[in-house]
Amino acid sequence: ERRWKIALETATPAAMTGSFHHGSTWQGTSWIMLTDVVGTSVLTFAGVARQLGWVLTISFIIGLAPVAVYTALLMSRTSNILAKAPGARPATMGEAARITLGGDRAAGMVYFAVYGFAFLGNASYILILGQCMQGMFFQTQLCLPIATAVACVLCIPISVSVRHLSESVVLCFINLFLILAVLAVVMGKMYFVGRPSHVNTFAFAKDLSFWGVFGAASNVVYSYAGHWLYFELMVEMQKPEDFPRVFLINVPLQVCLYLLVACWGYHFAGDKAEGYFLANLPDSDAYRAASTLLFLHVLIAFLVKNVVLVRAVHKILAPSRVDVSLRESGGRRAQAEFATCAVLLLCAYWAVANAIPFFSDFLALVGSLLSGPISFVLPAVFLMGALQREAGSSEGTLELSQHMEGQPDAAMPRMSSFSSQCRDAGRRLTRFDFVACAIITGFILLSMVFGTTNTIRDIGLRIGKYGAPFDCQARVHPEKLAMLELLF
pLDDT digits (tens, 9 = 90+) for 386-397: 988 887 665 544
Q: How far apart are CA 48 and CA 50, in angstroms?
A: 5
Q: Give the Cα-Cα-Cα angle 43, 47, 50 (nearest 5 degrees).
A: 150
- Cα separations in angstroms, 337 against 156, 163, 304, 333: 14, 11, 19, 6
Q: Give the Cα-Cα-Cα angle 280, 284, 290 (nearest 5 degrees).
A: 65
Model pLDDT, residue 476: 62
Model pLDDT, residue 414: 47
pTM of the complete model = 0.81
Model pLDDT, residue 31: 73
Model pLDDT, residue 390: 81
- Cα separations in angstroms, 195 against 30, 103, 275, 439: 36, 57, 18, 39
pLDDT tens-digit profile of 113-122?
Answer: 988 988 998 9
pLDDT tens-digit profile of 169-224?
Answer: 567 678 888 989 999 999 999 999 999 988 999 999 998 988 889 989 999 998 99
Q: What share of the chain is helix, strand, coil (3-state, %, to 5)?
A: 75, 0, 25
Model pLDDT, residue 266: 96
Task: Point out the residues of the chain with pLDDT beneath 70.
Answer: 1-23, 35-36, 87, 163-170, 172, 392-427, 476-488
Model pLDDT, residue 33: 76
- Exposed, middle or buried by CB within 10 Å (0-12, 13-18, 19+), for 151? buried
Model pLDDT, residue 17: 42
Hey, how many other C-beta atoms are within 10 angstroms of the C-beta on 472?
14
- Category of 23 on φ-ψ map: left (φ > 0), alpha (ψ -120 to 50) or beta: left
Three-class secondary structure of residue 237 per DSSP:
strand
Q: How far apart are CA 433 and CA 136, in angstroms?
A: 49
Count Cα neighbours of 300 within 13 Å in the Cβ-side half-sphere.
21
Model pLDDT, residue 426: 61
| 12 within 8 A of 91, measured Cβ to Cβ | yes
Model pLDDT, residue 312: 81
Model pLDDT, residue 10: 52
